């Protein structure tokens, strides 16, 4: 064939792989095991280009590992619970289950068209009762191990989605999906005790050598371990207030005390003061997330109470209620040190409180004015007998002093909170508990699992259909046999994704997984996904794994040995202000004719604005549809594009020219295979060497996930083969290119392999062996020095005799210029490296 026709070849080989069951992982195999996993998708309806990039990377690695003789587990499934399905149910009147199943069928077909080497035997969706029933069992196990509890607590209430949101799902005070301003409500909620593992989760980060530093740092900050001092101030009303500070060294700089709006002291003051009460209401109306408090204006209410300074009894400090103090961190009260904490600085400036320097980088400058808080290191000043101590010395000394006086103690405080997993939603895993008036809240008997979702529900009214369902709730109490009610909350979908990788590794019917089977595959050798999961999913999965290990259900403690976060696929946007309200209307790249500096809409020939190159998203319409480009260019060109040009951690700008180039390269490779010449024989040492160097380099590149480099090397080798004369070595080089490109362009590779009479499927072939001797170059570069300076370099055959090197050195024009007629007295030759000319 003159041309490679993906329309024919793609489906042919996809079928052949299925029939040969190439990608089914055998846990019984004695080969070394590799578990390659990409974050499983949410079945939103269509695969988007970001998925294609993510899964192509994983696919290349999985196929490569297989060629290296590994038994590879490369599974795929669906993170199928969650709100979009319910939103679709409300908007379109379809059942969330049906909507989800349809989407899964569509997306699976799309993935198949890209030719991913996946073990579809292990596919599942988290909304399968077989999956979530086991999740219910694990939840009960966690409860029995003391890692699940219920607590009345203030929750973030999303008034549009009618549900409780985790703190992490509140972004700038708004619901992460609905964008509605979040309110506070009190509800009984289910919690997982992730805080029991705070220490372990923090320490464990140290072992994760192959995780991006930025991800580890984000987790570290999220866990937020801080060491400090908790101590009490005596108050003028004969009470005490406990505060927590990470900077006890700054205690002499304290100029006020502040408590949270929910603090008991604030509540007491409010009983006697309408003004205080109004101020507290004002605080509650504002957002209460840490991020919001950081940016909001610092406001306070002077209670009239004063506090005595613990180390300087002459000093009394005013006690404020302040909007920037959180009730659920530390003790809910702080000492305000304006000189060295910016929040306190802003507050003191507003209310005219003293701002004293107590830390100085230069001990001579005790009274250098402060224009902002200085958080840096230094020595103590204006701090009585502590003057001159370093920050660290003073921390220790002051903690010891207050401990000795029984007024305080050194303390570790964590930012991490227990994980609230209750959602007042239908489309999730029902929490397997039963409420009995006599017996309280009791776990459902394990034999009753799975507790499945009822099918006959309606979404016409907002709220949780499980609460409204006439029968579903009604159940007998497993303890006393009396009438009882099921829990109607369902689990946060992050629970579903906290253990799916275990179920991929082992899926018995009678339990969530088999620990021994899991041990064969875990930890995941390479996990690939978006950096947006740096905290939540990746922290929860680490916690869940550790919790199971703690209960003796698992050996492994860290689920993902190596993590890679890939960049996004981007494109410029096209838009125009239209209509009477001049709303921004966006157009797809296909609707636009792009010229040099400008673009026009094909429909009317009128110009459109060209926007920035940003992540492809439906709302900005700067998307390309994977199906369309695969139909146009075939799977291999699309895969090749996803790997080319940009390093995988960087963003990849989509371009028509880029995919066209990939398409041309596909055809170029195809023509090259056509040049395989059975009758040719003989050597081509240089090409042979290049071939072996490429084998080694591409292997290194793939292992380092530097796919763009591997691609560049294949371009290079292809060019070298094209230039070479027919020979046996050239034929071997063609075969090798085929093998090396096969993880990236598997369809073309199969087709050509078949054409060249290769045995079986290339998907099952071995990676070519490297002849190490051929990796060493036969040529060396020799430096020529004169008067201690480098004058020229010459490239010569390795091991060239001294006299020949001398002759070549003297023949150099640059050397002759440097000699300038001087007599050569001596030439010192270090073979293969250096010539030194002495005059
Ligand atoms: C005095 C001080 C001086 C502070 C100084 C900091 C700098 P991290 O490090 O994040 O743990 N703080 C304590 N409890 C608080 C609460 N409930 N709401 C708001 N702020 C609170 O933060 C600990 C520091 O944050 C503590 O140390 C306290 O201010 C404040 F130069 O005490 B510090
Ligand atoms: Zn009962």
pLDDT in tens, 199-221: 999 999 999 999 999 999 999 99
Which residue numbers belong to the known binding site for ATP? Answer: 618
**pLDDT level of residue 684 (50, 70, 90 thresholds):** very high
Note whether 107 and 46 are within 8 A (CB).
yes
Which is nearest to 634 in space by CA: 47, 13, 1?
Answer: 13
pLDDT at 607 over 80: yes
Any idea which residue has 């093998």 for tokens?
Answer: 739
For residue 824, give every residue at least 6 positions away whose Cβ sits within 8 Å of its Cβ, in sequence order, or none: 810, 837, 838, 839
- pLDDT tens per residue, range 91-123: 888 999 999 999 999 999 999 999 999 999 999
633 & 683 share domain: no
Residue 143, φ and ψ in degrees, nearest 5: -60, -45
Instruction: Give me the pLDDT at residue 184, please.
Output: 81
Distance CA 536, CA 606 (A): 46
- Distance of CA 51 to CAs 64, 114, 530, 631, Å? 20, 11, 10, 17
> Mean pLDDT across the stretch 800-824?
88
DSSP 29-43: --SPEEEEEEPPPP-
Mutation choice for ligand 1 from 226, 247, 327, 334, CB with most ligand atoms inside 8 A:
334
pLDDT at 576 over 60: yes
CA 721, 740, 58, 85 torsion-angle sign: positive
CA of 433 to the centre of ligand 2 (A): 12
> Is residue 16 one of the residues assigned to a domain?
no
For residue 8, give every residue at least 6 positions away whose Cβ sits within 8 Å of its Cβ, in sequence order, or none: none
pLDDT at 508 over 90: yes
Alpha helices in 553-684 (DSSP H): 626-643, 656-674
> Is residue 19 one of the residues assigned to a domain?
no
- Distance of CA 691 to CAs 700, 736, 780, Å? 14, 7, 19
383 & 264 share domain: yes
Question: What ligand 1 atom has the least distance to the C-alpha of 339?
Answer: 31
Question: What ligand 1 atom has the least distance to the C-alpha of 373?
Answer: 31
290 & 392 share domain: yes
CA of 319 to the centre of ligand 1 (A): 16
Distance CA 141, CA 136 (A): 9
Domain boundary at 474, 493, 512, which?
493
Which is nearest to 258 in space by CA: 283, 281, 292, 224?
Answer: 283
Note whether 86 and 95 are within 8 A (CB).
no
CA of 234 to the centre of ligand 1 (A): 19
Cα-Cα-Cα-Cα dihedral of 822, 825, 826, 827, to 10°?
20
Ligand 2 ion: residues within 5 Å (CB)? 436, 438-439, 477, 479-480
- pLDDT tens per residue, range 36-66: 999 999 999 999 999 999 999 999 999 999 9
> Is residue 230 one of the residues assigned to a domain?
yes
Q: Cα-atom radius of gyration of the chain, to the nearest Å?
A: 34
Ligand nearest to the CA of 298: 1
> Mean pLDDT across the stretch 749-766?
94
> Is residue 79 one of the residues assigned to a domain?
yes
635 & 526 share domain: no
182 & 304 share domain: no
- pLDDT tens per residue, range 111-159: 999 999 999 999 999 999 999 999 999 999 999 999 999 999 877 888 8
Distance CA 562, CA 566 (A): 13
CA of 253 to the centre of ligand 1 (A): 14
Q: How many residues does the chain have?
A: 839
- CATH number assigned to the domain comprising residue 785: 3.10.20.590
Cβ atoms < 10 Å from Cβ of 316: 15
445 & 536 share domain: no
CA of 503 to the centre of ligand 1 (A): 43
Ligand nearest to the CA of 326: 1
Residue having the nearest C-alpha atom to atom 33 of ligand 1: 245
Average predicted confidence (pLDDT) for the chain: 93
Domain boundary at 757, 775, 793, which?
775
> Is residue 208 one of the residues assigned to a domain?
no
DSSP 3-state assignment of 740? helix
Question: What ligand 1 atom has the least distance to the C-alpha of 332?
Answer: 17
DSSP 3-state assignment of 345? helix
383 & 500 share domain: no
Q: Name all residues whose Cβ lies below 6 A of ligand 1.
A: 226, 244-247, 250, 324-326, 329-330, 332, 334-335, 337, 340-341, 413
- CATH number assigned to the domain comprising residue 87: 3.40.50.620
**pLDDT level of residue 440 (50, 70, 90 thresholds):** very high
- CATH number assigned to the domain comprising residue 643: 2.20.28.290
Report pTM: 0.85
* Token pair in block for residue 812: 């150099």
Q: What was the ipTM of the complex prediction? A: 0.90
264 & 233 share domain: yes
Domain count, the chain: 6
> Is residue 374 one of the residues assigned to a domain?
yes
Domain boundary at 476, 493, 510, which?
493
- CATH number assigned to the domain comprising residue 688: 1.10.730.10
* Token pair in block for residue 501: 């990788």
> Is residue 203 one of the residues assigned to a domain?
no
397 & 266 share domain: yes
> Is residue 757 one of the residues assigned to a domain?
yes
Note whether 335 and 233 are within 8 A (CB).
yes
- CATH number assigned to the domain comprising residue 327: 3.90.740.10
Residue 706, φ and ψ in degrees, nearest 5: -90, 70
Distance CA 628, CA 635 (A): 11
Distance CA 423, CA 488 (A): 9
771 & 805 share domain: no
Q: What is the domain range of residue 384?
A: 225-414
629 & 702 share domain: no
CA of 452 to the centre of ligand 2 (A): 21
Any idea which residue has 């006299």 for tokens?
Answer: 803
Alpha helices in 145-212 (DSSP H): 198-204
351 & 264 share domain: yes
* Token pair in block for residue 313: 């009894």
**pLDDT level of residue 287 (50, 70, 90 thresholds):** low
Mutation choice for ligand 1 from 247, 307, 320, CB with most ligand atoms inside 8 A:
247
Distance CA 696, CA 351 (A): 68
């Amino acid at each position: 064939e003159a041309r490679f026709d993906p329309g024919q070849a793609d489906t042919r080989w996809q079928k052949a792989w299925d029939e040969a069951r190439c990608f089914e992982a055998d846990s019984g195999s004695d080969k070394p095991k590799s578990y390659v996993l990409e974050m499983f998708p949410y079945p939103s309806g269509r695969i988007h280009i970001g998925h294609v990039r993510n899964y192509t990377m994983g696919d290349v690695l999985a196929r490569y590992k297989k060629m290296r003789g590994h038994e590879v587990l490369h599974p795929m499934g669906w993170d199928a619970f969650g709100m979009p399905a319910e939103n679709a149910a409300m908007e379109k009147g379809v059942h969330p289950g049906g909507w989800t199943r349809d989407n899964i069928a569509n997306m699976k077909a799309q993935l198949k068209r890209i030719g991913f080497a996946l073990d579809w035997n292990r596919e599942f969706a988290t909304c399968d009762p077989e999956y979530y029933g086991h999740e219910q069992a694990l939840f009960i196990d966690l409860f029995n191990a003391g890692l699940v509890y219920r607590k009345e607590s203030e929750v973030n209430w999303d008034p549009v989605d009618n549900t409780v949101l985790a703190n992490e799902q509140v972004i700038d005070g708004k619901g992460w999906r609905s964008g509605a301003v979040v309110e506070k409500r009190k509800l009984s909620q289910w919690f997982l005790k992730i805080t029991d593992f705070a220490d372990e989760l923090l320490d464990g980060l140290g072992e994760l050598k192959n995780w991006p530093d930025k991800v580890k740092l984000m987790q570290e900050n999220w866990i937020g371990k801080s060491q400090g001092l908790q101590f009490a101030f005596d108050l003028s009303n004969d009470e005490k207030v406990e505060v927590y500070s990470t900077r006890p060294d700054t205690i002499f700089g304290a100029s006020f005390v502040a408590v949270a709006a929910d603090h008991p002291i604030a509540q007491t003051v409010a009983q006697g003061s309408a003004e205080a009460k109004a101020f507290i209401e004002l605080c509650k109306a504002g957002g209460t997330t840490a991020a919001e408090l950081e940016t909001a204006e610092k406001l306070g209410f002077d209670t009239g109470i004063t506090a005595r300074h613990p180390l300087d009894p002459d000093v009394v400090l005013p006690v404020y209620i302040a909007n920037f103090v959180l009730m659920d961190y530390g003790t809910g009260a702080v000492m305000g040190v304006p000189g060295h904490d910016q929040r306190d600085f802003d507050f003191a400036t507003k209310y005219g409180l003293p701002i004293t320097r107590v830390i100085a980088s230069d001990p001579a400058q005790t009274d250098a004015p402060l224009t902002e808080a200085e958080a840096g290191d230094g020595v103590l000043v204006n701090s009585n007998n502590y003057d001159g101590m370093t920050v660290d010395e003073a921390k220790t000394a002051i903690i010891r002093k207050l401990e000795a006086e029984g007024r305080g103690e050194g303390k570790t405080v964590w930012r991490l909170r227990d994980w609230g997993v209750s959602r007042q939603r239908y489309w999730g895993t029902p929490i397997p508990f039963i409420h009995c008036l006599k017996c309280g809240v009791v776990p459902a008997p394990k034999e009753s699992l799975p507790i499945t979702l009822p099918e006959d529900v309606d979404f016409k009214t907002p709220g949780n259909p499980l609460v409204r369902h006439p029968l579903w709730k009604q159940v007998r109490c497993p303890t006393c046999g009396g009438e009882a009610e099921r829990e109607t909350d369902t689990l946060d979908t992050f629970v579903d994704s906290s253990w799916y990788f275990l179920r991929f590794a082992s899926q018995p019917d009678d339990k969530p997984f088999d620990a021994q089977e899991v041990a064969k595959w875990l930890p995941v050798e390479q996990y690939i996904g978006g950096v947006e999961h740096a905290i939540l999913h990746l922290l929860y999965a680490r916690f869940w794994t550790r919790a199971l290990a703690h209960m003796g259900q698992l050996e492994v403690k860290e689920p993902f040995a190596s993590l890679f976060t890939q960049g996004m696929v981007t494109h410029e946007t096209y838009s125009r202000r239209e209509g009477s309200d001049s709303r921004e209307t966006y157009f797809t790249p296909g609707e636009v004719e792009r010229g040099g500096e400008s673009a026009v809409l094909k429909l009317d020939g009128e110009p459109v604005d060209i926007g920035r190159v940003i992540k492809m998203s439906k709302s900005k319409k700067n998307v390309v549809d994977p199906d369309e480009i695969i139909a146009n260019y075939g799977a291999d060109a699309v895969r090749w594009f996803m790997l080319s040009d940009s390093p995988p951690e960087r963003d990849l700008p989509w371009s028509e020219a880029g995919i066209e180039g990939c398409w041309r390269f596909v055809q170029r490779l195809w023509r090259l295979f056509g040049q395989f010449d059975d009758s040719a024989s003989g050597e081509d040492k240089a090409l042979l060497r290049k071939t072996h160097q490429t084998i080694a380099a591409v292997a290194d590149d793939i292992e380092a996930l530097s796919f763009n480099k591997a691609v560049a090397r294949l371009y290079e080798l292809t060019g070298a083969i094209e230039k070479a004369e027919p020979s046996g070595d050239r034929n071997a080089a063609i075969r090798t290119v085929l093998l090396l490109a096969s993880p990236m362009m598997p369809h073309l590779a199969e087709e050509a392999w078949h054409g060249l009479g290769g045995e079986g499927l290339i998907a099952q072939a071995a990676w070519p062996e490297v002849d190490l001797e051929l990796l060493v170059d036969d040529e060396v570069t020799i430096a020529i020095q004169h008067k201690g300076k480098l004058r020229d370099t010459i490239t010569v055959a390795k091991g060239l005799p001294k006299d020949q090197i001398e002759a070549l050195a003297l023949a150099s024009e640059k050397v002759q210029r440097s000699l300038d007629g001087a007599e050569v007295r001596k030439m010192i030759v270090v073979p293969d490296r250096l010539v030194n000319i002495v005059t």
